[in-house]
Structure 1
């Protein structure tokens, strides 16, 4: 028996190949599936099963594309009520792949329909060796139960029972393989390690150390991180069955005139760095830096019903952005600006800019008493850890509505951990008529490095949900 993990950066998603000598299952596949086909081809094995633990909220699954390419059946939780052709699974069912037995248990809590796959290597022993637990248990954390409006306490209660009455009854040496690692918003405090054991998590996982059920429920239903908009959309797309990637429109290179014609009825998404966007950008465009947690913020900020046209540094960057947009269900990517911003401004078309100010410049403004509104667009937990005195905290996704709390005529400086989220925020405020917007390049990381405050732990961890973002 062989287990191979495939980790997808930015969405912090782990999928798996569970293989025997000749056949294998793919567990919780990502949407762009070529990686599984390439690996199994090199291994000389056939994909015979596609297993889903639950209806994923934060990414679009590749089960439809994988089934189309391989002919393998899709196995899903019975309670998911999926619309596409599939094999329904519930408590007590089992699957065999050569000498591997896969027992199914229902593990609700993160979602109502969630199941887990318990793996026994029959040749080596009768006890379970591994469990693919989806988003029920993570390394150092458990799945958040608050994604379904009005059901958070109910699902937290079910999650407690799932953990203590089912998963923790597995052998201490049983390996756990979750669907996410640190950086995902499907939990609150995942560790950077991507697999663990039941025994280790029992001893060191903060949520499993909460014995009192009421306290457990309270812990997981208060002060949770914000859930991006696309979480609810992705769940339903995965239930119905995502559109096959080969049927999606292939983004085309657009010259300036074609781009101008399309942009009247489309979203212009600038995926260049926040510094480049600050230099020159097309008016009313969104800026989501491709180097940031791009798919998450695109799913959060971009209207899903709109066509999307991209501004990028080159074709490769546009292709990468398109692939990541597809991972969160933003499929209406029409094209990209062929000549980039250089071609745009050299033809004399209108462009705007956002001044980028350094930490010392910001500090000088504050000490000189200049009338400046500082908006900290990090999450509340980051803001509370360390912030500039007098700064207003409005997380970047909330600026879409809460911009009304700010004066559009005031000089406004946005700050985050590095400049990326604040760059997004600047693009949002400019769309609403703000005229004096500046971005604090380097963010709180630069502010601390310049000696103006202590280091923000959340800003400097590359694997944290908003680390270096």
Structure 2
């Protein structure tokens, strides 16, 4: 069977391309649709369907632009109520793509419209299941997202639906089916996904905690809900965009790709209240940046951290990027619904600096410098990694303030004492540093290599949680 996984690492997202006899289907596409159109053109195929497994929370799907540009029919599963023209499949309805068949199996639980698509080849053999966020490799979809959009859908109710869907609709299927999930490790749509992005259903039945044959409904609900972190704030906003519709990416790019000199950039920022988002590497940002700007580097998990740190997807944004990276930044912002980029600084930060305008810097120290100056009783350190990372190992005495919670714990950081910030590699700690600078903190330094560098020094480290220092 000709089925291809198109994986985007920065979002831990998998779309799928299916082609047979000149007809193609795309499953759960990203916002930028040209790569799918190009892929079909390579096979001289026409995209017939765009199948959506559910209304996504962690990204804005490209189904509307694909329909507009190719004439493909958008297909959702039962109970879906989109605010635009789409075909709502019946449970067990079969669609033909060339000589292949795609069977819609309603599997509510992650969301109520969640649907798994069973792929059947030209000989009638069942090949695999595209599971969306119903079943991952090593995990299942979290059941606490839909309640942020529909209030009476509690996480307990959804977890119960998911238990039934897994037991009654997926687990009875053939063990040799290949599982094609929508996400892999790093996505916030589950809590313990594997780094592997495909597997057989039979192996998942053997190793996936949520598919234990002897698991009761009550045990499933308890285990599924235990350890869930708060979902990123942009998730409900993305769901609504996917339900109601959104602007074409072409329009978003046209609005955002406006070069601005330093004077115009400053004027637009003042007039619009736009956030200045600097997407350069942490090392370059630290050496000089526009006052009040925020650093989220393109080379990391850019879209996810934008979603975590910028509360409103409608926020106006002005970009500072490396030359030639403007379109990439706008596109990756749009993947998670941030469509209001108003322009970018032509010539980048060097243009701002050369114009004589004020700029700021952030002090950075190496792990070796930290080792040389470390005083366990007097050194004040903040660890902005996830709690799970901190619990695993951390510098003795370091206070844990996860980056996505920093705005709720700003009072924890002193203004009258020097302190040091570190994360895993220096990426997240620079985001934290920019936020602190923006809020008036000055007397701190960031560890360049983060805990990765610290772990290679003799700085005292702990492998247990110190209750007095953990938030």
The normalised TM-score by structure 1 is: 0.92
| Comparing 419-428 and 137-146, the one that deviates more | 137-146
d(CA) in 1 for partners of 2:376, 2:215:
53
Q: Tell me the alpha carbon deviations over residues 343-384 of structure 1, each in whole angstroms, 9 at most, x when there is no partner.
A: 2222221111111111122233332754x4311111111111
Q: Residues 36-435 of structure 1 correspond to what in structure 2 (within 5 A)?
A: 36-121=36-121, 123-125=122-124, 127-147=125-145, 148-149=147-148, 151-209=154-212, 211-248=215-252, 249-264=255-270, 265-302=273-310, 303-314=312-323, 316-367=324-375, 369-370=377-378, 372-435=379-442
> 1: CA distance between counterparts of 2:59 and 2:376?
47
Compared CA separation, residues 368 and 29, structure 1 to 2 (3 A)? closer
In the alignment, structure 1 residue 21 sits paired with structure 2 residue 49: no
CA contact (8 A) 2:424 2:450 kept: yes
8 A contact 1:418–1:446 mirrored in 2: yes
Distance in 2 (CA, whole Å) between partners of 1:397 and 1:51 is 33
Alpha-carbon displacement from aligned partner over 1:253-311 (angstroms, at most 9, x marks no partner): 11010011012221000111111111111111111011110000012212423211111
Give the superposition deviation at 1:437: 2.6
In the aligned structure 1, how far is the partner of 2:170 from the partner of 2:435?
A: 44
Measured in 2, the distance between the counterparts of 1:392 and 1:454 equals: 13
Counterpart of 2:445 in structure 1 is: 438
For 1:207 and 1:289, locate their aligned partners in 2 and report how far apart those are by CA, in whole Å: 35
C-alpha contact 2:23 2:45 (8 A) present in aligned 1 = yes
Secondary structure in 1 aligned to 2:322? coil
Q: How many angstroms apart in 2 are the aligned matches of 1:141 and 1:238?
A: 24
Q: CA deviation at 1:173?
A: 0.7
Q: Distance in 1 between matches of 2:389 and 2:424?
A: 9
Matches of 2:234 and 2:54 in 1, distance apart? 16
Rounded to whole Å, the distance in 1 between the matches of 2:65 and 2:382 is 43
Measured in 2, the distance between the counterparts of 1:275 and 1:224 equals 33
Give the superposition deviation at 1:396: 0.7
Aligned in 2, Cα 1:204/1:454: closer, same or farther, shift over 3 Å? farther
Q: Structure 1 residues 321 and 453 mapped into 2: Cα distance closer, same or farther (>3 Å)? A: farther
Query: How many residues get paired?
Result: 452
- The one-character-per-residue Cα deviations of 1:180-232 (angstroms, maximum 9, x if unpaired) are 11221111121122111110111122322372332221222121234211111
Structural RMSD (CA):
1.8
User: Do 1:15 and 1:29's aligned partners in 2 also have CA atoms closer than 8 Å?
Assistant: yes
Contact preservation (8 Å) 1:417, 1:445:
yes
* Contiguous gaps of at least 5 residues in structure 1: 457-469
Contact 2:141–2:190 (CA under 8 A) maintained in structure 1: yes
Deviation at 1:421, TM superposition (A): 0.4
Measure how far apart 1:137 and its partner are: 0.6
CA apart distance, 1:313: 2.1
Distance 1:80 1:404, change over 3 A: farther
Give, in whole Å, the separation in 2 of the partners of 1:359 and 1:213.
49
- SS of the residue corresponding to residue 298 of structure 1 reads helix
Give me the whole-angstrom Cα distance separating, in 1, the residues matched to 2:102 and 2:264.
53
- For 1:141, what is the secondary structure of its paired residue? coil
Q: Which residue of 1 aligns with 2:466?
A: none
Q: TM-score, normalised by structure 2?
A: 0.92
Is contact 2:21-2:99 (8 Å) kept?
no
Gaps of 5+ in 2: 464-471
Contact 2:395 2:459 in 1 (8 A): no
Question: Which region of structure 1 is more displaced relative to structure 2, 340-349 or 421-430?
Answer: 340-349
